[in-house]
Amino acid sequence: MKAMTRQTFIAGLALAGLTLGAGAALAQAAPKTGAPAPAFSVVDADGKTQKLSDYAGKTVVLEWTNHDCPYVRKHYNSATMQNLQKDMTKDGIVWLSVVSSPPGEQGHVEAAQAKDLTKTRDAAPSSVLLDPKGTMGRAYGAQTTPHMYIINPQGTLVYAGAIDDKPSASPSSLTGAKSYVRQAMAELKAGKPVSEAATKSYGCAIKLAPTT
């Protein structure tokens, strides 16, 4: 009986080790700020393949989005997100909205719906990327909608995290909120390092399609 208990204990340790190892591998998969941004190749709502390499020498903003998420609606109903998009693209920054919701999950859209949402919400991304298999979402470790990333002209990830410092779905939380995205962009424009390069994102959890 003691031998069996010992074997069970050892087996448990081995399983725990495998689990911890898998968890560590997943954690390492998310890119770190200051490191090269993961390459991607994703089809957009117009059917065009978009690659990070297409934007070498330009600043790129990635915005993970889900139109049914109340946190996303807070920023779109108030035009906070649209104003960010317009201000950034006016300065020559590339803004890519990314939809990683797979079919059957909240926020999933086909190309036509993605284009319609852009028009009806008066949104102004450079492009809407459709990532139903979650390949891009996994590469960036995207966890919530919204989840924001900024890539500098050298291809380095310089910001990853929340859009602002108010983790609430309430529209009233926008009052007095500090925009991490605007702050990071202002620092980049001034030739300074991003002072808060990594923050905790908030919003609706992204449910990526299972890997095969």
Q: Per residue, what are the HEC states of the chain?
A: CHHHHHHHHHHHHHHHHHHHHHHHHHHHHCCCCCCECCCCEEEECCCCEEEHHHHCCCCEEEEECCCCCHHHHHHHHCCHHHHHHHHHHHCCCEEEEEECCCCCCCCCCCHHHHHHHHHHCCCCCCEEEECCCCHHHHHHCCCEECEEEEECCCCEEEEEECCECCCCCCHHHHCCCCEHHHHHHHHHHCCCCCCCCECCCCCEECCCCCCC
- Amino acid letter for position 104: G
Q: What is the pLDDT of residues 131-150, one digit of tens each?
A: 999 999 999 999 999 999 99
Domain ranges of the chain: 1-30, 32-205
Instruction: Output the six-digit token pair for 88.
Output: 């950034």
Low-confidence ranges of the chain (pLDDT < 50): 1-28
- Looking at domain 32-205, its CATH superfamily turns out to be Glutaredoxin (3.40.30.10)
- Residues 6 or more apart whose Cβ sits within 8 Å of residue 68: 106, 107, 204
Q: What is the pLDDT of residues 175-202, one digit of tens each?
A: 999 999 999 999 999 999 999 999 999 9
pLDDT for 20 equals 32
> Residue 207, class by beta-carbon neighbours within 10 Å (0-12 exposed, 13-18 middle, 19+ buried)?
middle
pLDDT for 29 equals 58
pTM to 2 decimal places? 0.86
